Structure formats: structure tokens, C-alpha cells
Structure 1
Amino acid sequence: METIVNRHQAEAWNGYEGRHWAAHQDRYDGVNSGFNDALLAAVRPGDRVLDVGCGNGQLTRLAAARAGTGHAVGVDLSAPMLDRARASAVDEGVANVEFVRGDVQVYPFPAAAFDVALSRFGVMFFADPVAAFGNVGRALRPGGRLAFVCLDDIRHGDLGRVLAALAGHLPPPGTDGTAVAEPLSLADPAAIRSVLTAAGYTGVDCAPVAASQLWGRDAADAAGFLADWGPLRHQLDRVDPATADRARAALTDALRAYEQPDAVRLRGTAWLVTAHRPG
């Protein structure tokens, strides 16, 4: 019997949000894959790898390939994204990989079963982050490694400047009573160190990283994709059609500054966090 304690996120990632990410796997990988190499540096040949909040599973499959004789397990709440991850593993011929649905906070991982745990923007949404990271820590062998990327202050990257163009058209996020803090829950290194220390990790390090993020073929294409992204779609749905059209036009105009001959690319920033399980 499945146990899910993070009901809010389970509903989102098994609803519109998860379906959109699964349907646009290549586009979301284009946004986030620039951070892969920083995470894969933590994987060694023969490693048993756990990918936390694996989503469509690109990082999991790459980690499995890097581990060679080892293997990788991806865990996520989203059934639509896990279906996509499994299909991609078959298409790519990656055999040493497995995908499981579960809530990381309470999932019964075998004790000391992994050498390294990774996550690409999948750890900011825990209902109880200390409990979740503690559960991951118990799944690591003594001396096992943790490496993840999480959002920093969104104003540090180009996306923050693009989204600022919407301020005059859309209501501020969170004014409808919905939770909006989760993606930025680990944006402060002090919060990261506090959570991981309480969860039993040592050697916590937070390093700034940046990557080029591919958002679309041109400004109009990138704006259309962004407007369908769950959080922004929710905001657009809160206003009348004419206001929503003006917001989309403002978004397109803001993205024109980032058009290159072949694509729209934004500079994304994040924290690369590493730590160890004692032992």
C-alpha cells in the first residue's frame, strides 16, 4: 500500500503539472540539463545511485550510464512522469535503471542501499524537509554522498527579469491563498545547512552554479511554453482574457532580449549542494 504524506504535491504532479512535464519532456530537459554535469561529477563507476524527485528521469538514466556496473533508482510522486521515464529508458536501451513511485519523506528505502543520492530541482517541495532528507540519509551507506541543485533567489537569473514584466498584469503569487514558497524553500544557504545538519549530514557545502537554459525557438515560442507552465498558467487563469493577452504580450516582449539566431536562451542560476552521511 502506497503511503503519501505530501498530498498537495502529489495532486499537482499527478494532475496538470505532471502531465505537462511528461508531455514536454524534451523542452524541460532543455531548460534544466545544463546542470547535469555538476551533479554527475558525484557519480563513480559501480555506484548505486538514488535520484530524488527524478521526474522524467533524464538525470537518472545518465547516472546509470555513468555508474556502469552499478545501477540507478529514480523516485518521484508523479505517475505521468515516471511512465515517461520508463519509456525513455527502454528507448535509450538503459537497462541498469529502475523507477518507483513514492513520497521520499516516508518511502521504505532499504537501509544503506545507495552510495550517492542526487537531485535536479526535486528537493524543494518536501512537506517536512528534515524528515525527507533524513530518510534519504538512512538509504545511503555510511560515508555516502548527497549532491543536488536547488533554486536560488530567482532574481539572480534571467528568468526573474523576464517574469518581472508580468508584475503590472497579473496578481502577485500567493494572493489567492495557495502555497508559493516551496520552489524557493532552499534558496537561502543558511536554510540548506540548517535542514541538512538537522537531518544528520556533515560537510555541507553550497556553491553557486549557472547554466544556459533553452526555452524555445524564438520569443513567441518561449512565451507560449512559459505561459503553459503550471504556476504561470494558474496566474493567467485568475485574470480576464484581455488582461491575460496583455500579460502574454509583455512576456513575449521581455523574451525578445534573449533571442539568439537559433533559440531563446536564459542564464539560470542555482545552488549546488553537497554533503555526506557520517561514517
Structure 2
Amino acid sequence: MGANALLNRAEIFPVGPADRLLEIGCGSGATAARVADHLTTGHLLAIDRAAGAVRLARERNAAHIRSGHVEVRQLAIEEADLPDSSFDTVFAVNVSLFWLGTPPGLLDQIGRLLAPGGTFHVFAERPTRMAIEAIAARATSALRQAHFTNITTTVTGTRAAVSAQRPPGPSNALGR
């Protein structure tokens, strides 16, 4: 299972040519490469806490990095000091911290990073339908508690996609 099995998930959310995106837990960079193919003036920041994953993601995305459309950093999202409202879309593929007990404040931070009206996507795949339904329910509940809006949850077989928007406006409902 892994990011390669979920590459088609990048097609679930629209990627505009000028979008500013953040991928949390980019792993080997497979999804980053797929998303970056849609960018012409936009930018994708792909982060992962593991040095080995960052090395693989940089190798896989070397052409996109040279073009200036992709940057890959070794960085844990919990420690990321990135500017407010700097991303149109934030997404994560098979990143367990979104369903195994989201760290306190993490969704607030993601909301802060999203531009008004920006969207957060969580994609997951697990061996059983029961496991994926539980993951989708936990992610959906956490997003509701963090005051995200327009939450949609799609479960297909053993795959789930949960998407939500940051509340619009300069002062959103995420405690800012």
C-alpha cells in the first residue's frame, strides 16, 4: 500500500496551475510528482520528518525542483514555522497522525497556514473497510472540532478521502 497506490487521489482535488500547495509527509515524493505536473506558476512545498524520505522525494522530483515548482524539506509539520495563509491547499496521503490522535493544535496550525477558503485533504488506505471507516470518522470528527467547514468524507472500498475548508475571512473560527 503506500503513496503509489493512492496516486489517483491527487486527481480528487483540483490543482490549478498557480496553486500554492503543502504536502505533509511526502514520503518518496510520488504524490508530489503527480501534483507538480499540474503547476505552471504555482509551487508545492513537500515536507517529511524522515531524512531518507526527503532524499527519495528530492531524487524523484529533481526536474520539478529545478523548475522552481517544488521544494522538499525535512520538517515535521508540528515544528513548521511557515507564514500564515501561505497555501491554497494542504494535503496528506497515508499520514497516521491525522487519525491516530491528532496532536493538540495541529489542525489549528493547518488552518492558519491555509489561505481564506483554502482546503485541507486527508487521504488514507488500509487493508480493511472497517479500518478505513474508523479513520474517516476520526479525521472528520477532528476537523469538525477544529471548526473547519464544508467537510466531505468519501469512503470507497479500503480508501478514504476527507476534505474540509478553512472558514473564509481574515479572522477565521480557528481561534485567531
1:107 and 1:40 mapped to 2: Cα distance?
26
CA-CA distance at 1:275 after TM superposition: 0.7
CA-CA distance at 1:205 after TM superposition: 1.3
Partner residue in 2 for 1:200: 147
Q: Which amino acid aligns with 1:270?
A: R
Partner residue in 2 for 1:146: 120
Partner residue in 2 for 1:110: 83
CA-CA distance at 1:193 after TM superposition: 2.1
Deviations 1:181-209 (A, max 9, x none): xxx69834332222112223111111013
Whether contact under 8 Å (2:136, 2:155) holds in the other structure is: no
Whether contact under 8 Å (2:17, 2:42) holds in the other structure is: yes
Whether contact under 8 Å (1:76, 1:101) holds in the other structure is: yes
The structure where helix makes up a greater share of residues is 1
Deviations 1:30-82 (A, max 9, x none): x5424222333322221011101111111112212212210101111101110
**Aligned pairs for 1:165-176 within 5 A:** none
Computed over aligned residues only, the root mean square deviation of the Cα atoms, in angstroms, reads 2.4
2:154 and 2:83 mapped to 1: Cα distance?
30
1:57 and 1:36 mapped to 2: Cα distance?
10
The structure where strand makes up a greater share of residues is 2
**Aligned pairs for 1:1-279 within 5 A:** 31-42=2-13, 43-90=15-62, 93-94=63-64, 95=67, 96-124=69-97, 128-151=102-125, 154-156=127-129, 187-210=134-157, 269-279=158-168
Deviations 1:158-186 (A, max 9, x none): xxxxxxxxxxxxxxxxxxxxxxxxxx698
**Structure with higher RCO (Cα < 8 A, 6+ apart):** 1
**Unpaired runs of 5+ in structure 1?**
1-27, 158-183, 211-268
1:194 and 1:270 mapped to 2: Cα distance?
18
CA-CA distance at 1:103 after TM superposition: 1.7
Whether contact under 8 Å (1:137, 1:200) holds in the other structure is: no
1:151 and 1:186 mapped to 2: Cα distance?
10
Runs of 4+, deviation exceeding 3 Å = 123-130
Q: Provide closer, same or farther for how the CA distance between residues 127 and 78 of structure 1 changes in structure 2, counting only shifts above 3 A.
A: farther
1:143 and 1:77 mapped to 2: Cα distance?
27
Whether contact under 8 Å (1:124, 1:186) holds in the other structure is: no
Q: Which amino acid aligns with 1:36?
A: L
Q: Which amino acid aligns with 1:113?
A: S
Q: Provide closer, same or farther for how the CA distance between residues 79 and 136 of structure 1 changes in structure 2, counting only shifts above 3 A.
A: same
SS in 1 for 2:119: strand
Q: Provide closer, same or farther for how the CA distance between residues 110 and 67 of structure 1 changes in structure 2, counting only shifts above 3 A.
A: same
2:4 and 2:53 mapped to 1: Cα distance?
16
TM-score by length of 2: 0.80
Q: Which amino acid aligns with 2:31?
A: L
Whether contact under 8 Å (2:18, 2:40) holds in the other structure is: yes
TM-score by length of 1: 0.53
Larger radius of gyration: 1
Count of residues paired in the alignment: 163
